Amino acid sequence: MIYETELFVSPEEAESEEAVKTIASQKLSIQKKSITFLRILKRSVDARAKTVRLNLRIRVYVGEIPTPVIHTKLLPDVSSAKPILIVGAGPAGLFAALRIASLGWKPVLLERGKDVRNRRFDLAAINKDQLVDPDSNYCFGEGGAGTYSDGKLYTRSTKRGDVNSVLETFVAHGASEDILVDAHPHIGTNKLPQIIISIRESLLQAGAEIHFQCRVKSLLVTNNKINGVVADAVDGEKTFLSGQVILATGHSARDIFEMLHRQQIRLEAKPFAMGVRIEHPQVLIDSIQYHCRPEEVGKLREHLPAASYSQVHQSNGRGVYSFCMCPGGIIAPCATGPEQVVTNGWSPSKRNNPFSNSGIVVSIEPEDYAHYSADGPLAGLRYQQALEKMAYVAGGKSQRAPAQRLVDFIEEKLSTDLPKTSYQPGIVSAPLHTILPPEISKRLQDGLKAFGTKMKGYYTNEAVLHGVESRTSSPVRIPRDKDTLEHVEVSGLYPCAEGAGYAGGIVSAAIDGQNCAEAAVSKAKLKL
Ligand SMILES: Cc1cc2nc3c(=O)[nH]c(=O)nc-3n(C[C@H](O)[C@H](O)[C@H](O)COP(=O)(O)OP(=O)(O)OC[C@H]3O[C@@H](n4cnc5c(N)ncnc54)[C@H](O)[C@@H]3O)c2cc1C
């Protein structure tokens, strides 16, 4: 007999299988000793009431044992199959490659950055020496922008099957099975690189090709059909041929947008969002979200995760919202080129750093960047570049970020001093309220005040704003046909995931990668 039920339990009870069995047996009116197996299907923290509880959806087996679930990563041998090119080894590119191989075709992955281990040295150079390698940084390199992140795996995608297939692939490559159960799963920066290596090994074992330090610089297009790409590799210029090219280069690959524009391949400007990254002491966020005094947080956190938040406010017709919140995290320097300061955040799997950070951003619409209209589809990109340069100048022309205490920002005063920050290149006091254009700063002020009324204690001068959070989503769309997923004008070219404007975040990028892979394989089969 199998039962499914929902339980509300204390954080301590949730950690003990015996306690959960006792509560389940009482709820189902069955004998505890008759329970032969218990599986947690979903787990979420419910912090709405004063006492924090965990909500568990469980499956209880009586007199039977379920068949073990095996997360398989077996791929067929595709070493002599026909190639399909994928540009970019971020979540989209990697999941496209896995799907192409599973369908019996040979993925050829071209990635401008280094493999995940060698990439680490370039991250250290940004943090310690203020040096940004334009091909290997927090956004570029094996695993893409998602590698050194919080590894949050939430998505707005409603297709459960697609989401599960991505999560199960992560588990098959070494992620904890908890991600299949938690309502807000995350992996953590310390665990992601090993998972990416395991995905690479699966691909190589199947016979896929992976070329690191191989930057694509032009597309070979004749009569509106793609035939391949030209790339700069370590050993010189190389041409890769295929009638199917998945372009999964992410939203920071500005040279790719410039390349497409130069090659007269249609692009469109699209709305995006920009703002700042705010940092609070984690203990403060825990005490707000778990309704306790800061001195009580330590005890509670023995059984509860670092608390997170999600806030949204409408200001003068635009959304102001928290973005990519990292509890127990670190603010990361995410510039990808010279004269830029860009922030984002990551957390280790335990989320045990003393700070909490989150992007706080304002939606940006074409009227904001009308002064760049001469740049056509790249107008939003120019606006984004200008703000990143302003942050670079205000931070003293290095990777140091301009920063201001929260209350000072709202009261429009320069901060006379700044508290400790997790942002390793360092921060410089600067008047962000005047550096940011009014369409952003005024709305941020409005939104942050509103967040302070909803979360008592959030509005404090202990919190510091770091500028600028500019890479939330792509300012450019590479338009594609909604059925074939091919570019609207270039057959065989598949604009994919975040850079093309069709995904936001690791899971949705991975799903879009899988979808583009299927579309590319269907088209390739027609040509056989
Ligand atoms: C610090 C940080 C933290 C984040 N945290 C989270 C999180 O917790 N959860 C979440 O869901 N999302 C998070 N994100 C966002 C997430 O990483 C992206 O949404 C996701 O990686 C997009 O996937 P993608 O494959 O479309 O593009 P990307 O991950 O950007 O990958 C694109 C790849 O293409 C390569 N490339 C670019 N140009 C070329 C070229 N010319 N030739 C060859 N290769 C090229 C790049 O080097 C890169 O590896 C975070 C991002 C950052 C930077």
Protein residue with least CA distance to atom 10, ligand 1: 505
State yes or no: pLDDT of 331 exceeds 90.
yes
The per-residue pLDDT for range 422-439, each reduced to its tens digit, is: 999 999 999 999 999 999
What per-residue confidence (pLDDT) applies to 93? Answer: 98
Q: What atom in ligand 1 is closest to the CA of residue 345?
A: 1
Question: What's the chain's average pLDDT?
Answer: 96
Model confidence at 24, in pLDDT bands (50, 70, 90)?
very high
Nearest to 117 by CA among 155, 148, 163, 158: 148
Amino acid 146: pLDDT:
80
Question: Are 353 and 282 a contacting pair, CB within 8 Å?
Answer: yes
Could you tell me the two tokens for 525?
């089969």
Written as six digits, the tokens of 481 are 């046909």
Name the residue at shortest CA distance from atom 15 of ligand 1.
Answer: 505
Is 90 exceeded by the pLDDT of residue 238? yes
Distance, CA of 121 to CA of 73 (rounded, Å)? 30
Categorize the per-residue pLDDT at 528 as very low, low, confident or very high, splitting at 50, 70 and 90. confident
Closest CA to 105 of 211, 198, 203: 203
Cα–Cα distance measured from residue 463 to residue 465, given in angstroms and rounded to the nearest whole number: 7
pLDDT tens per residue across span 384-417: 999 999 999 999 999 999 999 999 999 999 999 9
Residue 220, CA atoms < 13 Å, CB-side half-sphere: 13
**CA 243 – CA 379 distance, rounded (Å):** 31
Please determine, for residue 161, whether its predicted confidence score (pLDDT) is greater than 80.
no
Confidence at residue 69, expressed as pLDDT on a 0 to 100 scale? 76
Q: What's the CA gap between 309 and 323, in Å, rounded?
A: 10
- pLDDT over threshold 80, residue 159: no
Query: Do residues 350 and 188 lie in contact, with contact meaning Cβ atoms separated by under 8 Å?
Result: yes
Give residue 344 CA to ligand 1 midpoint distance, Å.
12
pLDDT over 90, % of the chain: 94
**Each residue's pLDDT tens digit, 178-193:** 999 999 999 988 899 9
Indicate the burial class of 483 (C-beta count within 10 angstroms; 0-12, 13-18, 19 or more): exposed
Q: Measuring from atom 49 of ligand 1, which residue has the nearest CA?
A: 144
pLDDT band at 150 (very low <50, low <70, confident <90, very high): confident
Q: Helix or strand or coil: residue 26?
A: helix
Q: Whose CA is nearest to atom 27 of ligand 1?
A: 250
Is 90 exceeded by the pLDDT of residue 70?
Answer: no
Confidence of residue 455 (pLDDT cuts 50, 70, 90): very high
Identify whether the C-beta of residue 353 lies closer than 8 Å to the C-beta of residue 329. Answer: yes
pLDDT at 68: 76
**Predicted local confidence at residue 379, as pLDDT:** 97
Q: Out of 210, 214, 498, give the residue to mutate to test ligand 1, the one with the largest number of ligand atoms within 8 Å of its CB.
A: 498
Please state the atom number of ligand 1 nearest to the C-alpha of residue 186.
8
Residue-wise pLDDT tens digits, 302-315: 999 999 999 999 99
Determine the distance separating the centroid of ligand 1 and the alpha carbon of 146, expressed in angstroms.
Answer: 5
Residue 67 is predicted with a pLDDT of 84
Cα of 504 to ligand 1 centre, how many Å? 10
CA–centroid distance, residue 219 to ligand 1 (Å): 21
Q: Which atom of ligand 1 is nearest to the CA of 503?
A: 26
Of 252, 167, 182, 255, the closest CA to residue 216 belongs to 255
State the Cα–Cα distance between residues 397 and 130, nearest whole angstrom.
10
What is the atom index within ligand 1 of the atom nearest the CA of 496?
26
Question: In the structure encoding, which two tokens stand for residue 85, read together?
Answer: 């090119």
- In the predicted structure, residue 151 carries a pLDDT above the cut 90: no
Q: What is the 3-state secondary structure (H, E, C) of 386-421?
A: HHHHHHHHHCCCCCCEEEEEHHHHHHCCCCCCCCCC
> What band does 72 get if pLDDT is binned at 50, 70 and 90?
confident
Ligand 1 pocket by Cβ (under 6 Å):
87-93, 110-113, 138-141, 144-146, 148-152, 215-216, 248-250, 252-253, 256, 324, 332, 334, 344-346, 497-499, 503-506, 509
Helix (H) or strand (E) holding 497: helix 497-500
CA 497 to CA 488: how far, in whole Å? 16
Alpha helices in 8-149 (DSSP H): 11-14, 17-28, 91-102, 116-129
Pocket test for ligand 1, best of 210, 347, 506, 508 (most atoms within 8 A of CB): 506
**Which pLDDT score, from 0 to 100, does residue 71 have?**
75
Strand 401-405 vs strand 312-315: parallel, antiparallel, or unpaired? unpaired
pLDDT the model gives residue 275: 98
- Is the pLDDT score of 140 beyond 80? yes
Which of 249, 254, 272 has the most ligand 1 atoms within 8 A of CB, as the residue to mutate? Answer: 249
Six token digits for residue 55: 């909500």
Nearest by Cα to 6 from 52, 33, 41 = 41
Q: Whose CA is nearest to atom 46 of ligand 1?
A: 140
**59-68, 402-411, 483-492: lowest mean pLDDT where?**
59-68
Phi and psi torsions of 441, nearest 5°: -65, -40
Tell me which of 85, 86, 108, 112 to substitute to probe ligand 1's pocket, judged by most ligand atoms within 8 Å of the beta carbon. 112
DSSP type of residue 160? H
Cα–ligand 1 centroid distance for 22 (angstroms)? 45
What one-character-per-residue DSSP string does 63-80 give?
Answer: S--PPPP---------TT
Q: Over 80: is that where the pLDDT of 157 sits? A: no
pLDDT at 156 over 80: no
List, in order, residues 6 or more apart from 345 with CB less than 8 Å away. 149, 150, 277, 324, 325, 326, 329, 330, 331, 332, 357, 358, 359
Average pLDDT of span 203-209: 97
